[in-house]
């Protein structure tokens, strides 16, 4: 294990699609804890003009990407993240959902070659056992070695991932998702890690579940997920920011 990571050792990846307000809240909290870390905001087929403005406000890179969460895209969603990370790789990569909250800095991070987070050993929907477990989406960490090994393997671009029944959709939860026309970021990543022998580790600094509330008394966890509803004060803040921008544009 490593000591508390420095800003320059971390890279955060935020995939956005029709969730500007949640993304704004996530970035605001992230920058309080890591003002100098590399942050990427990637639009998954959403052309909302507020995203590049939001990224600029928080000193983040912005990438206008195509919609890759769709079933025919296979593992390209994960590959895109790894390709962007590889342009300036840090020691650790954290993929965050927009409804993730950072409460404090990470006290440590795994070393070596690993993917880490909250391990899901039983599926959230149908209660089926998962062996090996899945690193629950929302907050997923990758060491540099794991990220580059996954990227360079080419597995995430393989046509075999289009055969979801025999690859990543290993349970009823994921079969239902695939039949709805979507891939799962974390289960595609799980499949690739199993194929490449990359360990999936429990990481006590985060707590992520599929749905429901998450308690974090005493800031036990550095990051938690999900937080679908913004506090009232944050909604007021976003409204005030939007009004200021409109007034500025009108006077500009």
Residue 1 clears pLDDT 90, i.e. is over it: no
Distance CA(124)–CA(210), nearest Å, equals: 7
Residue 170's Cβ-side half-sphere holds a number of Cα atoms within 13 Å equal to 20
In a domain, 2, yes or no: no
What is the token pair recorded at 52? 């590049």
In a domain, 49, yes or no: yes
Distances (CA, A) of 94 to 48, 50, 205: 24, 23, 12
> What does pTM read for this prediction?
0.91
- Spell out the residues 6+ positions from residue 77 whose beta carbon is closer than 8 angstroms to its own: 15, 44, 68, 69, 183, 185, 188
Residue 9 clears pLDDT 60, i.e. is over it: yes
pLDDT digits (tens, 9 = 90+) for 45-79: 999 999 999 999 999 999 999 999 999 999 999 99
pLDDT digits (tens, 9 = 90+) for 122-135: 999 999 999 999 99
- The predicted pLDDT at position 241 comes to 58
pLDDT digits (tens, 9 = 90+) for 139-169: 999 999 999 999 999 999 999 999 999 999 9
What is the token pair recorded at 219? 């800031």
Please check whether residue 53 is in contact with residue 70, taking contact to mean a CB–CB distance below 8 angstroms.
no
Distance CA(130)–CA(143), nearest Å, equals: 23
Name the domain count of the chain: 1
Q: Write out the residue range of the structural domain in which residue 241 sits.
A: 7-210+219-251
In a domain, 224, yes or no: yes
Task: Specify the CATH number for the domain of residue 70.
Answer: 3.90.550.10
In a domain, 77, yes or no: yes
């Amino acid at each position: 294990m490593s000591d508390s990571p420095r800003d320059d050792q971390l890279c955060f990846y935020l995939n956005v699609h029709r969730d500007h307000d949640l993304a704004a809240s996530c970035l605001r909290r992230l920058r309080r804890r890591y003002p100098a870390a590399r942050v990427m905001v990637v639009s998954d087929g959403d052309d909302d003009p507020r995203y590049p403005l939001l990224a600029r406000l928080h000193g983040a890179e912005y990438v206008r990407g195509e919609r890759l969460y769709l079933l025919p895209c296979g593992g390209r969603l994960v590959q895109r993240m790894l390709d962007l990370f590889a342009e300036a790789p840090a020691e650790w990569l954290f993929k965050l959902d927009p409804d993730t909250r950072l409460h404090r800095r990470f006290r440590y991070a795994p070393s070596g070659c690993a993917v880490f987070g909250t391990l899901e050993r039983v599926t959230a929907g149908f209660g089926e056992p998962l062996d090996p477990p899945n690193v629950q989406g929302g907050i997923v960490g990758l060491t540099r070695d794991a990220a580059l090994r996954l990227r360079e393997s080419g597995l995430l671009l393989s046509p075999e991932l289009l055969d979801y029944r025999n690859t990543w959709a290993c349970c009823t939860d994921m079969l239902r998702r695939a039949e709805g026309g979507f891939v799962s970021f974390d289960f595609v990543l799980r499949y690739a890690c199993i194929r490449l022998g990359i360990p999936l580790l429990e990481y006590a600094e985060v707590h992520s579940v599929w749905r429901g509330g998450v308690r974090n008394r005493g800031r036990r966890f550095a990051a938690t997920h999900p937080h679908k509803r913004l506090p009232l004060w944050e909604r007021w803040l976003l409204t005030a920011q939007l009004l200021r921008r409109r007034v500025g544009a009108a006077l500009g």
